[in-house]
Amino acid sequence: MAVPILNNNPQRYSKGVDSWVISAGSNIPPLTIPFAPPLNPAPLPLLEVDGIIVNIDGVINICSPQTLSDITEAENLANFHYSPLKVGPVNGAMLGGTIPIIKINTTNLAIKGEERDIKNRNAGVDSVDYLYEGELVSGVPKSVLDQINYFLNPNKDTPPADVFTLWNWKFAGDYSIDVLVTATKQRDNFLDRAKLTEFLGGVSQRLKLLREDFNAIKYVFFNATLPPNNGTTTIARVASAEEDSTHTVLFKSYDTVAIQPNTGSIV
């Protein structure tokens, strides 16, 4: 991006010791405009888009390398119009301030992250690396910087992803009944009570484990308890928030105690 040049009598503009000087001629006293306080802290060249400055939490300023070079060049050319700083007033009007400064606040991110961590446990999530966490680039979290550049840069199609660590569920139940059916198969026209008892007992045991797994799922998703697991898996994905919801949960458990013989007669 080229620095805008002064088209109207650029020779009349100069930079004094502590002020900008505009001279209208040898017989007219020059107009002096005191320098504005310098941008503090000085911008860091971390942005991917030109012509803008981003202030993070009031303590860090960032811009593109080209914008930083343009600001320096404009100062050398005594062009105080192309600057993030305003000077004046001159006849009641402020000059300069043509490079916009966007202010963002990240101080509440940690609070929101802690709130999200509680909800994540209901989803079987062990942990999430949020934007404000992780590697720093010149004091700025890299993920925050990536998010700012994604938001401002029209050429970026994919937003940065959060890193999730999910629990690997360890289920107790065996949901196949093939072996059980084979071992307890009845003969034609004959009821083997021992095999029937074995079959029903096997089914009961498998149903018991099935209900334990189902209850474990409900305990996690409604009560945020730690799931039975085989460790964790880490994946990267763009997260999205969902609305809260309230549920009433009912836990039930059944077990077959015994099989009673039929003592009555069938009519």
Q: Which are the contacts of 221, defined by CB distance < 8 A and separation ≥ 6?
A: 122, 123, 124
What is the model's pLDDT at position 266? 39
pLDDT band at residue 103 under the 50/70/90 scheme: very high
Residues 97, 83 contacting (CB under 8 angstroms): yes
How far is Cα 130 from Cα 161, in angstroms, rounded to an integer?
Answer: 9
Mean pLDDT of 28-41: 86
Kindly report which listed range (55-69, 156-170, 185-199) carries the lowest average pLDDT score: 185-199
How far is Cα 223 from Cα 182, in angstroms, rounded to an integer?
Answer: 40
- Under DSSP, is residue 40 helix (H, G, I), strand (E, B) or coil? coil
Does the pLDDT of residue 131 top 70, yes or no?
yes
User: Mean pLDDT, the chain, as a whole number?
Assistant: 81
Mean pLDDT of 95-109: 90
How far is Cα 103 from Cα 61, in angstroms, rounded to an integer?
Answer: 9
What is the model's pLDDT at position 61? 95
Mean pLDDT of 162-167: 84
SS3 content of the chain, % helix, strand, coil (to 5): 30, 20, 50
How far is Cα 147 from Cα 156, in angstroms, rounded to an integer?
Answer: 10
What is the model's pLDDT at position 265? 42
Mean pLDDT of 253-263: 60
How far is Cα 99 from Cα 103, in angstroms, rounded to an integer?
Answer: 13
Check the CA dihedral 255-259-260-262 and report its sign: positive
pTM: 0.66
Mean pLDDT of 40-51: 92
* Most confident range, picked from 14-18, 179-183, 201-205, 218-222: 218-222
Whole-Å CA distances, 261 to 73, 192, 208: 99, 12, 23
Query: Which two tokens mark 96?
Result: 């300069």
Give tens-digit pLDDT for 193-233. 777 777 777 778 878 888 888 898 898 888 888 888 888 98
Instruction: Using a pLDDT cut of 70, give the percent of the chain over it.
Output: 79
Mean pLDDT of 146-159: 87
How far is Cα 45 from Cα 149, in angstroms, rounded to an integer?
Answer: 12
Does the pLDDT of residue 161 top 50, yes or no?
yes
Mean pLDDT of 144-150: 91
Does the pLDDT of residue 246 top 80, yes or no?
no
Check the CA dihedral 163-164-165-168 and report its sign: negative
Amino acid (1-letter code) at residue 30: P
Domain regions of the chain by residue span: 36-104, 107-258
Q: How far is CA 178 from the centre of its chain?
A: 46
Residues 48, 66 contacting (CB under 8 angstroms): no
What is the model's pLDDT at position 267? 36
The CB-side HSE value for 68 (13 A sphere, CA atoms) comes to: 14
How far is Cα 126 from Cα 227, in angstroms, rounded to an integer?
Answer: 10
Does the pLDDT of residue 1 top 60, yes or no?
no
What is the model's pLDDT at position 66? 93
**b vs e for 24-54, b when ≥16 Cβ sit within 10 Å of the residue's Cβ?**
eeeeeeeeebeebeebeeebbebbebeebbb
